[in-house]
A and B are shown apart, each in its own frame.
Chain A
Amino acid sequence: MVILQANKIYKTYGNKFNKQEVLKGIDLQVDKGEFVGIMGASGSGKTTLLNVLSSIDRVSQGTIEIEGKEFTGMKEKQLAEFRKHHLGFIFQEYNLLDTLTVKENVLLPLSITGISKKEAHQRFAQVAGELGIAELQNKYPAEISGGQKQRTSAARAFVHEPSIIFADEPTGALDSKSASDLLNKLSDMNRGRQATIVMVTHDPVAASYCSRVVFIRDGQIYTQLNKGDEPRQSFFNDIIKTQGVLGGVQSWT
């Protein structure tokens, strides 16, 4: 089942005298339960792609559908409503509210949906158990480690069971141990909950946890790699190779 369908999306910045095309006609399809990685060098447009896919930024041209709902033409208010129900976010900088405890941060997306208190506590117990943050629930973000923060952030993304979760360099600020820990948890959740995740990263190790990796260069899809039944190690090697071609020495002559 198709969760996300993006057709010929363009994104340009600036005015008509000084135009900068960041996305140049990208087509992307994500099925339910997929864990898709988006890779590319700095300035390749991968974060812009994530922003437009997640409705935070608007496309200049093209259409995006999530679960069959087209949202590029929606008004600001409708977009907020849409994000509330269909999208979950994990950011590089955790983006937790400092003044809220771990539990309060996680339950934040539920409070807008008007779910009952009892159900909210059940959901928290479940997602916190899966991500191993149950003991931290009354701590403030300033009191826990980066890895714990990112797992909290992940829990917040999963708790309202969105159609799709967008992760922007989730491991960018973590040490390698916390990073692999988080990625393991993410892929567990991906398999266990049939959750759909789209993750932007420039780290090949992180990308190797995905089931599919999309490479972007200069605002266009350069190539895609499918993991299939390969072990993670060999998928990692494939990614490194592709990245080498993608970002490697170009023939200038």
Chain B
Amino acid sequence: MDLNYIVYRNLKKNIKNYYLYVFALIFSVALYFSFVTLQFDPSMDEVAGSVKGGAAIGTSSILLVAIVAIFLLYANTIFIKRRSKEIGLFQLIGLTKGKIFRLLSAENLMLYFGSMVAGIAAGFAMSRLILMILFKILEIDAMAELRFSSEALVRTIIVFAAIYVLIMLMNYTFIKGQSILSLFKVNVTTQTQIRKMPLWEIVLGILGIAFVGGGYYISTQLFSGKYTEMSELMRAMITILALVIIGTYLFYKGSVSFLFNAIRKSKQGYLSINEVLSLSSIMFRMKSNALLLTIITTVSALAIGLLSLSYISYYSAEATAKESSPDDFGFARVEAKEKFVQALDAQNIKYKEIHMKPIMMEVDASGIMDNSAFKSPDDRLLLTAVLSEKDFSGMDLQPDETTIVGYGGALQQFMSLSETGEVIFDTLNGKVSLQVQGNSSEAVLPYYYGGGGAIFVVDESRYQGFVQAQNPKVQRGEGKREYYGIELADRSQRAEANEIFLELKPEQPSFSQYEVELEQRSNMGLIMFIVGFLGLTFLITSGCILYFKQMDEGEEEKDGYTILRKLGFTQGDLLRGVQFKQLFNFGIPLIIGLCHSYFAVKSGWFFFGTEMLTPMILVMLLYTVLYSIFGFLSVLYYKRVIKASL
């Protein structure tokens, strides 16, 4: 039996044991390779209008390398520890450390580069699929072609070879630093100290929950108008981040064991098998993984949050476009509108014209801002656009009445306005007090005119009076006094009309709702695509790490299963207990991650779109499903351990 034979045998054994590692490796390589292929693909730069597609993907590929490298290095520390006994044995039979290192290197070389070749092949196949997904998201009608990029190949090989060298370096220092005796004992030392819970841990536990809760609370207040200055806002955001991250760490370090301990105490020592396997084991083990779990939770919350936001943005592109340009097309200058209208007539596209003349006025809105966080009189004096009721079909206001339109989106979150109350309009002829009758979130003027503020609508006669007595000091420039909107009769002709619009290149300011929507789709689509794939990589790698941790834990708890089976618990009993335990082991980080991202998204989603729940829930569901797969895999692993335990 020579060295090569040992290498061969080890390899065979390890592939069976570490199929998930091999899978994760192949997957990482495949993903990286297809990413880099995309980056070098000439079709990418045509893809995303203002954002350079290739550049965006290039930057994120660096992030991808970081995730993959950390994962592979981390996985390696787990595996080298598992094999420490074997290494000790080799040393015992007289192999030198150098020789053992060569043995491991050779074995890893085959495993690693074997998976790499497989990964590149898979990545090559996958890159077309990915490109197809990207085109689909961006609504680009192009054939995704399969191009093999040698640049991508070279880069992939360099990156993963560098990671391989790092891993070998790590193994080398591990082998060098260990004595035979300590190698046999590695598993023993990793076991957690089990003793009674000290007081400081209870304090930490309570603090953890308090911190997370506090962070969540501030996040709900973030854009309620409480923090009006930029520096205050920044401080609040940093506080939230710090509270939530530290809170999460303390939660894993203390709160979980604190809560579980409380449940256990209430049982007064009479535990069911489910509780024996889950509560007592998680109580002690989650603590030692606190840092790892915190990182996983935080990054997955980040991934879910970003993905939700970009999906919200993508999902509500149409509504957002409507907010920023309420009519299909809008013009500030009559000549531009005329040119466009003529072109539409020539193409036989039917339309409706809208003409509005917003006047700017100062309005004292103290009467309807009682519930708002803006307290100082200056903040309550709004400079806003005023329109006449005749621009709205079916609206009939009394001369002393006014109503608010365009009160939606972020504005609604920032500034709460009562539905009724008194507002005072400032004119050259003195102050005019009107009664507010309700408000509507419907946008009527492009963002360009109202600046996203609320718009007051008044009775026609009142409007004429305001026009007469308008204060020239607060009026806007020439381009903002008139608004011409074009509403198509048949909205299915939007694309056609947009072509005309683009061809004419009307002078600014002019707006096309359809164009805004497309732009938003393609920008957000690309971001969503990148965040999605980074998130996926992170999900798979962190899922693998949790799974590997569970493999270790399973081995450590094998003795316990032996005892329990001797006492008369069946395999079924134990398996149920383990399932219960995994519900917590995977469920707790998942739920905390989801909670974090929920509060993150909730605090600021209205800047990104108009619909929060549907896109967010879809993203969360997808994440949960993918994540659960690792939970199931770990239960299958435990099943084998339990079966072999007696």
Contact = CB atoms under 8 A, between A and B. Distances in A.
A107 B271 contact: yes
Given A80-B568, A95-B563, A99-B280, A120 B573 contact: no
Interface of B: 193-196, 264, 268-273, 276, 280-281, 283-284, 559-560, 562-573, 646
30 contacts: A56-B566, A76-B570, A80-B568, A81-B568, A82-B568, A83-B568, A84-B567, A85-B568, A89-B566, A95-B559, A96-B563, A97-B560, A98-B560, A99-B194, A99-B280, A99-B281, A99-B283, A100-B280, A101-B269, A104-B264, A104-B276, A107-B271, A108-B276, A109-B567, A112-B273, A112-B568, A120-B270, A121-B270, A140-B195, A156-B567
A54 to B, nearest CB: 8
A139 B196 contact: yes
Contacts of B559: 95
Given A99-B281, A100-B271, A117-B270, A142 B193 contact: yes
Nearest to B559: A95
Contacts of A203: none
Interface residues of A, number: 40
Contact of A83 (B268, B562, B567): B567
B191 to A, nearest CB: 8
Given A101-B269, A109-B568, A121-B270, 12 more contacts: A56-B566, A77-B572, A80-B565, A82-B568, A83-B568, A95-B559, A99-B283, A104-B271, A112-B568, A112-B573, A140-B195, A143-B195
A54 B196 CA distance: 34
Interface string A137-157: 111111100000000000010
Nearest to A141: B194
A103 interface: yes
A56 B563 CA distance: 11
Nearest to B284: A99
A110 interface: yes
Could you say which of B193, B559, B570 has the most chain A C-beta atoms within 10 Å of its C-beta? B570
Q: Which 8 A-B pairs have the closest CB atoms?
A: A84-B568, A103-B269, A83-B568, A99-B280, A80-B570, A95-B563, A120-B270, A104-B269
A56 B568 CA distance: 10
Given A82-B568, A124-B269, A100 B646 contact: no
A87 interface: yes
A184 interface: no
A179 B569 CA distance: 29
B274 to A, nearest CB: 10
A111 interface: yes
Contacts of B284: 99
Interface of A: 54, 56, 76-77, 80-85, 87, 89, 95-101, 103-104, 106-112, 117, 120-121, 124, 137-143, 156
Nearest to B283: A99
Contacts of B567: 83-84, 89, 108-109, 112, 156
A124 B276 CA distance: 17
A209 B228 CA distance: 83
Contacts of B564: 97, 108
A127 to B, nearest CB: 13
A210 B194 CA distance: 36
Given A99-B281, A142-B194, A83 B566 contact: yes
B269 A137 contact: yes
A80 B560 contact: no
Q: Which of A56, A97, A141 neighbours the largest number of chain B CB atoms within 10 Å of its CB?
A: A97
A50 to B, nearest CB: 12
A54 B571 CA distance: 18
B38 to A, nearest CB: 49
Contacts of A143: 195-196
A111 B568 contact: no
Contacts of B562: 95
A111 B273 contact: yes
Contacts of A96: 563
A110 B270 contact: yes
Contact of A97 (B196, B269, B276, B283): B276
B499 to A, nearest CB: 70
B294 to A, nearest CB: 23
Nearest to A81: B568
Contacts of A101: 269
A100 B261 CA distance: 11
A142 B280 CA distance: 14
Contacts of A95: 559, 562-563, 566
